[in-house]
Amino acid sequence: MSFLDKYNNGQTLLVDKDLNWTSFDVVKKIKNIIKCKKVGHAGTLDPLATGLLIICTGKNTKKINDIQNQDKVYTGEFILGKSTPSHDLETEFNSQKDFKNITKDRIEEISKRFVGEQLQRPPKFSAVKVNGKRAYEYARDNEEVKIKEKNINIYEFKIIEYNLPNISFKISCTKGTYIRSIARDFGEELGCGAVLSKLRRTEIGNYNVEDAFKVNDLADKLKKEKIESNNR
């Protein structure tokens, strides 16, 4: 089987995405090497997020929806006492409040409230469609629109480390959960505001970032495989 036939027949590639790469950037880089017509990712990761991005090629692109629907695990960090319009560091701080009276017990108590089935309001800086336009398009034009809440389920919200104003967390959740919205709502519950400063996706279903390749390492591996295949 030729190199191209292998990827047309379907492969699933695990990428450990670096900071500032878009999910499309990763797909484009892989596609330019394997020259396969069908290449796609199974769930966007924001440029400011790192971690597991699943790339499907050829016939395996039919599996994308199934993979997207699987549960996710994230680790990351919130900064307490600050807020931004996007609820992460993509936009400038627009609010600052004192967090010094926030105790570990209070943080633990609030985090437990987030576990379970619930309705979540996506961020206004998101790709959710409202009247045919992306929500972030309205947000960039300073237009207020009502974004429909979505059903989600948070299985675990664990505080891993306290280094106030920074707290590290692990969250296990269903598809469609916005960690930025959790940052927003968590900060509101605490009464001091919070922003998402770091985010890493570690698991999608049974797929784990520990089995993934860095983008450039995967690219080198594919190039080597392609050369070896052509020399047979």
* CATH, residue 93: 3.30.2350.10
Domain identity same for 199 and 88: yes
Domain identity same for 56 and 128: no
| Rounded distance between C-alpha atoms, residue 169 and residue 56, angstroms | 29
Number of CB atoms found within 10 A of residue 118's CB: 15
Average pLDDT score over residue span 179-196: 96
Domain identity same for 76 and 138: yes
What positions carry a catalytic annotation?
46
Q: What is the pTM of this model?
A: 0.93
Domain identity same for 199 and 210: no
Domain identity same for 19 and 115: no
Domain identity same for 78 and 148: yes
**Among the ranges given (33-42, 71-80, 139-148, 169-178), the one the predictor scored with the smallest mean pLDDT:** 139-148
Domain identity same for 186 and 112: yes
Mean pLDDT across the chain:
93
Q: How many domains does the chain have?
A: 2
Place of tokens 């633990």: 108
Domain of 154, in residue numbers: 72-204
